[in-house]
Structure 1
Amino acid sequence: MSQTYLRWLLPALLLTTVPALAQRTTPTQSRKKSAAAGWPTKAPAVVTASPRALVVSVGDTGKSAFVVPQVQLPVAAAASRINQYLVDAALGEDLEMLPEPLTAASGLRQALAEYETNGQSGFVGTSYEVLYNDNYLLSVALTAEYMGAYPSSSVRHATFDLRTGRLLQVRDLLADTLALRRRWQQSINRRIEAHLAALPASYPELDTAMLADVRQRLHWNESTRTATLEANDPRFYDFALTPFGLTLYYDFGFPHVILALQPETDYLFPYADLKAWLKPKGPLEFRR
């Protein structure tokens, strides 16, 4: 148990984007004439945070599958903070050597170089999915792909406040995280119990020893019908926002060869169930 930038794109990089943000309109010619005649003019609009981010993809020319998300926002400082974290999470966590400075362009060059040096194995690709992008909140899933004796992947999640560019934690969203942890523990117990009950029918080839091994990896106590987790577990290391609710993730870390025997790792908590715990004046206050 995871941006404005067009000026530095290299010719070798391919940019995929969606339509640009609408520009603020300029005063009409008639308004200019009125101002010249001495009529009062409206104060210039102040650039404020957008309720949504413009998310673009920066990737290579097709030799491999490295794609990094970057955002564009009216507030450049907020975009810069988000973009730096996205590069760190998408590339920096897996590169053998970190370029200085680490940007989307330098990180992609390094990833491609290591990909070729390592014989197209090891860290072989990145991708992303936008899970939520509204109400001044952006939540992204970042997937890293690896190739060794067998293919594998890891997923990291990140949620940002678009007003400031700050990376959010669960405690920024909920005033009562202890209540949520208790509810989460109950959900984990129910899922494990249902999963263990279904395993013999789903995998009839499993013998008694293998089933016992799965129970042990799940820390399952048959007498109390609970998973005996470590102190303060499950922890809020990884979470995401979606249009439907808050999703928490708990992975028991099964090895690849028996990964199919692990329960699903995502736990969705609808916003309606979180109302009593939402932080007053927090990023999710509009859900109260």
Structure 2
Amino acid sequence: MKQLTRWLLGVGVVLGARLPDVAQTQPGEQAQVYTVTNDGAGGNFHLPQVRLANTAVARRINRQLLGLVTDYSSAIDSTASPRRQLTQLARECCYDEESRSWLAAGSGLTGMTYEVLLNQNYLLSFQFQREDQGLAQPGTSHLTFDLRTGRLLTLAELVADAPAQLERRLGYAISRRLHDELANVVANYGDDSTMIAHVAQLYGISEWNTTPQAALRLDMGNGSGGDPYESRLHLTEFALRPNALLLFYSVGMSRLNFEFLPDETYVFPYTRLQPRPLLQPIAQASASKKK
């Protein structure tokens, strides 16, 4: 009897204890993302589509996602299912009607793949990589949606930092990275001045000194002049991760030079930005995880 009493008291303590708070996901706060692919042996199209409680918003997002590839063709039946549209696109790029066979590489846009970078707090951010003539291209493209409305968001709607300031910070980061990359080339090809000069030209560096202190001076100057990369920057290409804003800068070069291709992604933690209300919940969640 005493054992039964102690057991009942123990159960009462457990039931009466306050359970830890668990964050609840609100309807529509996250999208259900699924992949649509093309039929047939040609093409490599893997496009995201979303499901949301608000079907009108989901349709708006899905049309924009499909448009990434279907807008390249006027022969696509926009009333067909997404899979059917991708199959039509694959046949157009990669099927030879005369020989009635699929081409090994295809022509023009032959594929698209994607990655979900962020899907929380009513924000959905994608990264896409396209294939041309069967070959993956080095640069990526990005779309970020408001899951409440289905609108594509601009950077100015997410951060309050002045565009000129962000461009300057990105320009300095690009300059530092390219000088570091050139220093690696010098380390690997130190006896080949022609190769070093060639890579410097690819990076748009007309003069260089590969010591860290000199590279820093080249990056920062005396603070009065503009950054050499600033005029080439466009802040329309961005994406979101749970802990940072991503900005991008691709160095154009032929496939023969891809061994010298630097990473195009530049990471700006939310703690070093001024998030607007749309982005503040994600920035606050990221800061809480670091504590």
Fold conserved (TM > 0.5)?
yes
Q: What SS is found at the alignment partner of 2:195? A: helix
Task: Tell me if structure 2 keeps the 8 A contact 1:244–1:271.
Answer: yes
Give matches, 1:54-93, under 5 Å. 54-61=32-39, 63-64=41-42, 65-89=44-68, 91-92=69-70
Counterpart residue type for residue 66 of structure 1: F
TM-superposed deviation, 1:259: 1.7
Q: After the TM superposition, which of the residue ranges 68-77 and 206-215 deviates more from structure 2?
A: 206-215
RMSD over aligned Cα atoms: 2.4
Partner of 2:83: 105
Q: Distance in 2 between matches of 1:66 and 1:195?
A: 33
**What residue ranges of structure 2 are gaps of 5+ in the alignment?**
1-25, 97-101, 209-216, 220-226, 285-291
- Is 1:271 the counterpart of 2:270 in the alignment? yes
Counterpart residue type for residue 259 of structure 1: F
Q: Distance in 1 between matches of 2:75 and 2:181?
A: 41
Q: Distance in 2 between matches of 1:62 and 1:243?
A: 36
TM-superposed deviation, 1:146: 2.3
Q: Which TM-score applies when normalising by structure 2?
A: 0.71
Q: Choose the corresponding residue for 2:114, options 128, 152, 156.
A: 128
Task: Tell me if structure 1 keeps the 8 A contact 2:167–2:230.
Answer: no
Task: Tell me if structure 2 keeps the 8 A contact 1:125–1:144.
Answer: yes
Aligned length: 231
Q: What SS is found at the alignment partner of 2:45? A: strand
Give matches, 1:1-288, under 5 Å. 50-61=28-39, 63-64=41-42, 65-89=44-68, 91-92=69-70, 95-101=72-78, 104-114=82-92, 115-117=94-96, 119-120=103-104, 121-122=106-107, 123-147=109-133, 151-153=135-137, 154-176=139-161, 177-202=163-188, 204=189, 207-222=192-207, 225-226=218-219, 228-229=228-229, 231=231, 233-274=232-273, 277-279=274-276, 281=277, 283-286=278-281, 287=283
TM-superposed deviation, 1:97: 3.6
TM-superposed deviation, 1:138: 0.4
Counterpart residue type for residue 101 of structure 1: S
The structure with the largest helix share of the pair is 2
Q: CA 1:255–1:206 in 2, change beyond 3 Å: closer, same or farther?
A: farther
Task: Tell me if structure 2 keeps the 8 A contact 1:98–1:107.
Answer: no
Q: Distance in 2 between matches of 1:218 and 1:79?
A: 41
Q: CA 1:205–1:109 in 2, change beyond 3 Å: closer, same or farther?
A: farther
Counterpart residue type for residue 64 of structure 2: Y
Counterpart residue type for residue 278 of structure 1: P
Q: Distance in 2 between matches of 1:257 and 1:248?
A: 26
Q: Which TM-score applies when normalising by structure 1?
A: 0.72
Counterpart residue type for residue 275 of structure 2: L
Q: After the TM superposition, which of the residue ranges 72-81 and 163-172 deviates more from structure 2?
A: 72-81
